[in-house]
């Protein structure tokens, strides 16, 4: 909110150094403040930090690699990483930790890239481990990987633009003239402001073949050569043609990955040898341990991380008689062993972020590379033309070497040598400077003839370069030959296996729950106990909180669902196996805490069921009753909480569950009247929020106080209280039935 302008009440005379306007509160619009301060930051993050460009690099990557190139680390011995980090700070004005983290992710030791750009030595951690931290920069060494030759080969031939660094003391490239589409070869992710980028990696040889195909034919079928992404971890790709096509066309989509495993029959253990790129070994192990503790996985006896020199390895020891394939199906569904890589091919094209499909991305790279080759060709042409021009002047000297020597010897002033040579042989200033700089010992016929022999070759080279500049087809052929050579030199087999989605037979995982007889108890205060018959026989009285009492007792089996209704019109679903067997000497599980009820919410009633048959009667104080089939609370998904479990229009008096629809239900009112009716007398409503129908007529000021399933001996003469029609007022007990009377 804008503030009003106020002035300081200080009336003291102005002192030296007084700043005009100091202490004043100036009105400023919020929108203007955001535009002036936040928008530049957002643009900086998008354009200069998080989103890669067409060469496949973010600015931090490019600055680091270019610094290493200028340090002479391409093909030489390694140097300390701390030295590289310090030099990079001349281009990258961030802290040394951020620069070193960038180098780690580009390194061979970290194993995050299919084709690392940094050849590392020492502990650089592993991308698949959260806890395996890399060593400090003073302990590790690095140099550029040989594949960086394809990034820097042409950089000194004016192939890309250079700009000043942050303090205008050095020049740095705006892009690297990558000779292959590195933007697709190595995975790249980044989160900017309001947008993000997530590019999966592809096999180098396949990318080169696809690019060659597009250069030859714009309508080339890219899926014929670029089969699927390829991930450095070697995870299996669940191949769905429609999903892959969508990613290739739009640059967006989600690709499913799953870990690869082997089974050691003799040791009875599963060895997980690869995991999805999106997770870590520690996350998988922790999730499996958590599932074992919850009792959802019972087939595992031990799990440990055996990652070592040979790479990732998670070993799972199995119990006897366990089928490893079925267990892995369960682990794929319940742990990050199967995960998705979300693709978002967002790339900066000429300073504008664009989400491109694979075809558009390769076409943009081809256009960029064509421009690089043109600039390189023009650079080479210009150099050869300059060389030819000098040799043309030297060729004229050959006609009369003595004259050239005489001119130089007879010239009185040094500054006149070049003009005199120009006049004497009809050459320009550049040619004359070149001749004047030749040593006296070289002013002989043999030296000049050897130099001028290159003229004919230079003329041929110039003609060839000019022909290249005039023909896009020739430029494309050059790029094609370079791509073929790169694929041949650096190509490697796919690391990620492809599994076709149609070939995966997913068996329904049925959790094996031990089924045995149990007794379920639920108390008025919301406590629950599950006790075996044997334990119940050997136990004494139930331990309860003061004032608490057991309101429900069921004899059933362990493999059963439980529904708890609350006083906030909500139902919470769980399973009996989620509760441990206990004894009568404990209070039991407090249901609102166990099932994470809302604040102030209390449990009222419990229904155990296997098949969701029967009906729930919601008895309201105003005499209405809602009859809802229990199957209305069955859900296809494992939802734990159901809102709107019953109507909130009237205050609830009781909940009654009947499995057989020919059950008698007894109602009692605050006036002492009793009404008995058949559950089948009411029509069931499929809507859980139904307000019900009037069953018991009540006088003004009175309400229903209780409802329960009628059992024999509750009433001496039940027919007297049975309703002939509904609604009915019920009957007051006779004096001889005063034991049935309830006073309030």
Q: Which residues are catalytic?
A: 139
Q: Residue 612 and residue 604: Cα distance in Å, rounded?
A: 19
Exposure pattern of 168-179 as b/e (b: 16+ CB <10 Å)? eeeebbebbbbb
Q: Residue 287 and residue 282: Cα distance in Å, rounded?
A: 8
Q: Which of 210, 590, 153, 500 is nearest to 363 (CA)?
A: 210
Q: Residue 247 and residue 671: Cα distance in Å, rounded?
A: 72
For residues 200 and 251, the answer to whether their CB atoms sit within 8 Å is no
Q: Residue 119 and residue 509: Cα distance in Å, rounded?
A: 45
Alpha carbon distances (Å) from 324 to 222, 234, 280, 290, 500:
38, 21, 22, 19, 21
Q: Which of 613, 624, 582 is nearest to 727 (CA)?
A: 624
CB atoms within 10 A of CB 596: 10
User: Inter-axis angle of helices 59-70 and 96-105, to 10 degrees?
Assistant: 90
Q: Residue 504 and residue 60: Cα distance in Å, rounded?
A: 42
From the number of C-beta atoms within 10 Å of its C-beta (0-12, 13-18, 19+), residue 94 rates as middle
Q: Which of 363, 353, 356, 359 is nearest to 250 (CA)?
A: 356
Sign of CA dihedral 243, 248, 251, 256: positive
Pairing of strands 641-643, 338-344: unpaired
For residues 197 and 344, the answer to whether their CB atoms sit within 8 Å is yes
DSSP states of 44-87: HHIIIIIS-BTTS--HHHHHHHHHHHHTT-BSS--EEHHHHHHH
Pairing of strands 498-500, 236-239: parallel
For residues 653 and 620, the answer to whether their CB atoms sit within 8 Å is yes
Pairing of strands 517-523, 561-566: unpaired
For residues 295 and 472, the answer to whether their CB atoms sit within 8 Å is no
Which residue in the block uniquely carries the two structure tokens 């003061």? 546
Residues 6+ apart with CB under 8 A from 257: 231, 235, 236, 237, 238, 276, 277, 278, 338, 339, 340, 341, 496
Q: Residue 102 and residue 86: Cα distance in Å, rounded?
A: 13
CB atoms within 10 A of CB 229: 26
Q: Residue 162 and residue 170: Cα distance in Å, rounded?
A: 10
Residues 6+ apart with CB under 8 A from 441: none
Q: Residue 497 and residue 231: Cα distance in Å, rounded?
A: 9
Q: Which two tokens stand for residue 617?
A: 């009667």
The H or E element that residue 535 is part of is helix 533-538
For residues 462 and 199, the answer to whether their CB atoms sit within 8 Å is no
Phi–psi pair at 389, nearest 5 degrees: -60, -40
Pairing of strands 664-669, 300-305: unpaired
């Amino acid at each position: 909110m804008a503030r009003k302008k106020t002035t300081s009440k200080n009336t003291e005379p102005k002192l030296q150094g007084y700043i005009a306007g100091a202490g004043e509160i100036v009105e400023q619009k919020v929108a203007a403040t955001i535009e002036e301060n936040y928008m530049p930051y957002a643009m900086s993050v998008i354009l200069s930090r998080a989103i890669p460009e067409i060469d496949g690099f973010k600015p931090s990557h490019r600055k680091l690699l270019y610094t290493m190139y200028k340090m002479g680390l391409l093909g030489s011995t390694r140097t300390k990483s701390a030295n590289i980090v310090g030099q990079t700070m001349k281009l990258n004005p961030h802290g040394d930790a951020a620069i070193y983290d960038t180098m780690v992710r580009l390194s061979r030791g970290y194993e995050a890239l299919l084709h690392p750009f940094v050849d590392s030595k020492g502990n650089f951690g592993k991308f698949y481990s959260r806890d395996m931290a890399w060593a400090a920069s003073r302990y590790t060494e690095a140099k550029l990987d040989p594949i960086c030759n394809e990034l820097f080969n042409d950089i000194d031939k004016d192939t890309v633009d250079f700009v000043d660094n942050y303090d205008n003391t050095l020049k740095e490239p705006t892009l690297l003239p990558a000779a292959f589409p590195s933007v697709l070869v190595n995975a790249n992710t980044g989160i900017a402001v309001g947008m993000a980028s997530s590019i999966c990696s592809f096999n180098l040889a396949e990318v080169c073949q696809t690019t060659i195909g597009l250069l030859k034919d714009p309508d080339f079928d890219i899926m014929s050569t670029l089969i699927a992404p390829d991930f450095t971890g070697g995870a299996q790709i669940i191949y769905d043609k429609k999903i892959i096509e969508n990613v290739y066309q739009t640059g967006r989509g989600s690709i499913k990955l799953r870990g690869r495993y082997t089974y050691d029959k003799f040791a009875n253990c599963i060895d997980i040898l690869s995991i999805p790129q999106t997770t870590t070994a520690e996350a998988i192990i922790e999730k499996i341990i958590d599932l074992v503790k919850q009792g959802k996985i019972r087939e595992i006896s031990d799990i440990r991380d055996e990652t070592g020199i040979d790479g990732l390895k998670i070993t799972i020891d199995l119990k006897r008689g366990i089928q490893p394939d079925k267990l892995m199906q369960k682990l794929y569904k319940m742990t990050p062993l199967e995960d998705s890589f979300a693709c978002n091919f967002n790339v900066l094209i000429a300073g504008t972020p664009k989400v491109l499909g694979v075809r558009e991305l390769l076409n943009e790279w081809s256009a960029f590379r064509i421009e690089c080759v043109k600039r390189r060709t023009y650079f080479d042409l210009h150099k050869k033309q300059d060389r030819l021009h000098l040799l043309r002047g030297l060729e004229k000297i050959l006609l009369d070497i003595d004259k050239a020597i005489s001119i130089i010897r007879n010239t009185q002033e040094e500054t006149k040598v070049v003009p005199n040579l120009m006049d004497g042989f009809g050459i320009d200033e550049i040619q004359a400077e070149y001749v004047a700089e030749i040593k006296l010992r070289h002013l002989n016929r043999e030296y000049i003839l050897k130099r001028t022999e290159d003229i004919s070759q230079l003329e041929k080279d110039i003609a060839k370069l000019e022909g290249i500049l005039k023909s896009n087809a020739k430029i494309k052929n050059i790029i094609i030959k370079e791509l073929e050579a790169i694929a041949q030199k650096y190509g490697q087999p796919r690391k990620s296996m492809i599994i076709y989605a149609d070939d995966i037979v997913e068996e329904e995982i049925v959790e094996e729950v031990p089924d045995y007889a149990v007794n379920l108890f639920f108390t008025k205060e919301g406590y629950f106990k599950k006790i075996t018959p044997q334990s119940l026989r050997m136990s004494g009285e139930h331990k309860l909180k003061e004032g608490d009492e057991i309101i429900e007792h069921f004899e059933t089996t362990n493999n059963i669902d439980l529904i708890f209704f609350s006083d906030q019109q909500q139902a919470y679903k769980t399973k009996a196996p989620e509760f441990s067997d206990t004894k009568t000497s404990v209070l039991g599980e407090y249901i609102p805490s166990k099932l994470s009820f809302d604040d102030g919410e209390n449990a009222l009633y419990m229904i155990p069921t296997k098949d969701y048959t029967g009906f729930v009667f919601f008895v309201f104080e105003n005499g209405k009753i809602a009859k809802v089939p229990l199957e209305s609370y069955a859900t296809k998904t494992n939802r734990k909480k159901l809102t709107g479990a019953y109507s909130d229009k009237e205050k609830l008096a009781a909940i009654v569950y009947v499995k057989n629809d020919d059950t008698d239900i007894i109602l009692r009112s605050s006036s002492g009247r009793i009404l008995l009716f058949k559950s089948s007398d009411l029509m069931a409503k499929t809507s859980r929020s139904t307000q019900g129908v009037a069953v018991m007529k009540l006088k003004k000021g009175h309400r229903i106080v209780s409802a329960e399933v009628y059992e024999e001996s509750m009433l001496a003469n039940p027919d007297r209280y049975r309703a002939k029609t509904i609604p009915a007022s019920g009957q007051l007990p006779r004096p001889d039935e005063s034991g049935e009377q309830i006073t309030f």
